Amino acid sequence: MTGPTTSAATAARDLDVAADRLVEILPPGDARVPDAEHCVTGALLAARAEAHPDRVYAVFEDGTHWTYGQAYDDARTTAAALYRLGVRQGDTVLCWLPNGLDALRVWYGVNLLGAVHVPVNTAYRGALLEHVLDNSGARVLVVHALLVERLQHIGDSRLQEVVVLGGGPDAPWPDALPGAPRVHGPAALRGLPEDFVPPERPVAPWDTMAVIYTSGTTGPSKGVLVSYVHHYSTVTALLDDDIGEDDRYLLNLPLCHGGGTEVAYCMLLFGGSIVVTENFRTGEFWDVVRRHGVTMCTLLGAMVDFLLGLAPRPDEAEHPLRAACVIPLTRQALDFGRRFGVDVYTGFNMSETSAPLVSPLNPQRTGSCGRPRPGVQCRVVDANGIDVPDGSVGELVLRADRPWSLFHGYHAMPEATAGAWRHGWFRTGDAVVREPGGDYFFVDRIKDAIRRRGENVSSMEVEAELLSHPAVAFAAAVAVPSDFAEDEILAALVLRPGARFEPEEFIGYLRPRMAHFMVPRYLRVLSELPVTDTGKVRKETLRAQGVTPDTWDRVAAGIEVTRDRIR
């Protein structure tokens, strides 16, 4: 490459896309790999801008409307600026920004260059942040001004260029950062659309689009390598039959998470639009839905609980929201659908996979993850990789027919990559049951399973009973060491405002509702549970804290729970 191209028309031609062959959606079970112009982010964005430049693609919290034409222009100006900073095809680029226009234009600008987008959780700091910066191998970081101070507390990194966006007059601005990278203001990320330099090699469907870091609940976060085909396969599996260009999807999950990036990519693929919020806020949810005409959304379990806690109103079912993907499918999820008149569906997915299990609309059995979608093979196996009978608990393992539709490794972690596979099957680490009819039911993360009195206990099943008590708003069950062998069960509880709670009464409530070996020995009341940015409880934190001085012990209180006498 000798220099920048000088015309937007040339850039579009070099991307080799045309509006009249925009998107040919392959069915989820089709083993073919989609063409680049049908799945690569930059090519999709260019084609949408060519076909519908004035159609709104995104609406932001400040009321800004971003058309497809504006999105493509902003992506090209960002790509041109990143090129000046030394970013080339295949490079990783860190994006440490909250949800918003800047986060999207950086992602799309990075992909236009054929580079790899590495979004970073805005909650990270300390050792975890240092691990991600080091593991990514990136030389360029785009960061929000209010996060810069955290960089002062890490060791030297490989960073050479840091671009600081956002903030205000009081936002921290570093005199120097570890490793002494060059620090730039917002102007460094603005170029001219005509200065965009397309990558030397056309971006291929199997190229790495992004590195998505896992929550790190079992150790250092792993960077999941996500190809364009991987993302394409996920969104077509979940939404292919139920979405169109008139739909508007609420993006309220972080863009450092697959649940956020999939929404933005999905609407780019199908030609619809998104409403971008920084996070989920219970009191504003329905106002956002009504004001912006939101037709679809994704809700995690805790979000559903919050929304069900809203005071009833006579017009609460009058809104444009028609469908919600709710994970997991709890009793509360079904109650949400009935109360607000919304179709509910669910599925099973991980950053590493592409929605292998999907349910129909409005399934009625809680805990269901659906059935295998076309194009994936699922098995339930024991610790030796041998299939278990239907109705028995085992680990879900899977593989896919379409090449590149699963992750292709953990970034710079070859041992972890090798350990995730056994005999050609990806090991999910999740315990499930397959029923004879073919439905799959989630039991627990294998690492969260509890072994007590010779029995395997599902923390999820214990939590379902804990949450049925009217005083309990949130609950988590974890294993803690026993005085003898195996585990004891500790229940961490968050109470509803004003609730009266007596441990002895609570145990009396649980006793007729669960097997004796499932009744917790320890009860601990907290103001809040430790959670990830996507609302998953950090059970490793609760396990590490163990039996604290404020934990109530029913054995010490003289309350024994024994097996019922049958004779």
Q: pLDDT tens digits for 5-62? A: 334 444 444 444 334 345 678 988 899 999 999 999 999 999 999 999 999 999 999 9
> Across residues 380-385, what is the average pLDDT?
96
Contact 522, 488 (CB under 8 A): yes
Residue 277 lies in a domain: no
Picking from 238, 253, 272, the residue at the C-terminal end of a domain is 238
Average pLDDT, whole number, for the chain?
Answer: 90
**464 lies in a domain?**
yes
Q: Which of 464, 459, 473, 478 is closest to 523 using CA atoms?
A: 478
Domain count, the chain: 2
CB atoms near residue 39 (< 10 Å): 30
pLDDT higher than 70, residue 155 = yes
Q: Is the pLDDT of residue 189 over 50?
A: yes
Least confidently predicted of 169-178, 322-331, 368-377, 487-496 = 169-178
Per-residue pLDDT of 72-125, as tens digits, reads 999 999 999 999 999 999 999 999 999 999 999 999 999 999 999 999 988 888
Check which CATH number belongs to the domain holding 75 and give it: 3.40.50.980
For residue 181, how far is the Cα from the chain centroid? 31
Domain span at 139 = 36-238
Q: Does 456 have pLDDT greater than 80? A: no
As given in the structure block, the two tokens for residue 330 are 């709890």
Residue 348 CA to residue 369 CA, distance in Å, equals 6
Q: Is residue 257 part of a domain?
A: no
Can you read off the two tokens belonging to residue 120?
């970073």
In a domain, 373, yes or no: no
Q: Which of 221, 238, 255 is the last residue of a domain?
A: 238
End-to-end Cα spacing for the chain: 85
Residue 420: partners with Cβ closer than 8 Å, 6 or more residues away: 352, 410, 426, 427
* CA separation for the pair 422, 529 (Å, rounded): 34
DSSP 8-state code for residue 146: G
Q: For residue 186, is it within any domain?
A: yes
Of the pLDDT bands very low, low, confident and very high (cuts 50, 70, 90), residue 566 is: very low
Task: Looking at 16-120, list the stretches that DSSP marks H as alpha helix, in order from N- to C-terminal side.
Answer: 41-51, 68-84, 101-112
Domain end point (choices 212, 238, 264): 238
> What does the pLDDT read at residue 567?
39
Which CATH number covers residue 510? Answer: 3.30.300.30
Dmax (CA) of the chain: 88
Phi and psi torsions of 263, nearest 5°: -65, -50
Q: Residue 244: inside a domain, yes or no?
A: no
For the beta carbon of residue 374, count every other beta carbon within 10 angstroms: 12
Percent of the chain with pLDDT over 70: 92
Q: Residue 175 falls within a domain, yes or no?
A: yes
Q: DSSP readout, 284-312?
A: HHHHHHHHHT--EEEEEHHHHHHHHTSPP
Q: Does residue 298 or residue 364 have the better pLDDT? A: 298
With tokens 């570093």, the residue in question is 174
How much is the pLDDT for 227?
A: 98
pLDDT for residue 5: 36
| Higher per-residue confidence, 169 vs 114 | 114
- Model confidence, pTM: 0.84
What is the rounded CA–CA span in Å between residue 507 and residue 522?
A: 10
Beta strand pairing status for 552-553 and 522-525? antiparallel
Distance CA 70, CA 93 (A): 22
Q: Does 206 reside within a domain?
A: yes
The answer to whether 123 touches 97, Cβ cutoff 8 Å, is: no
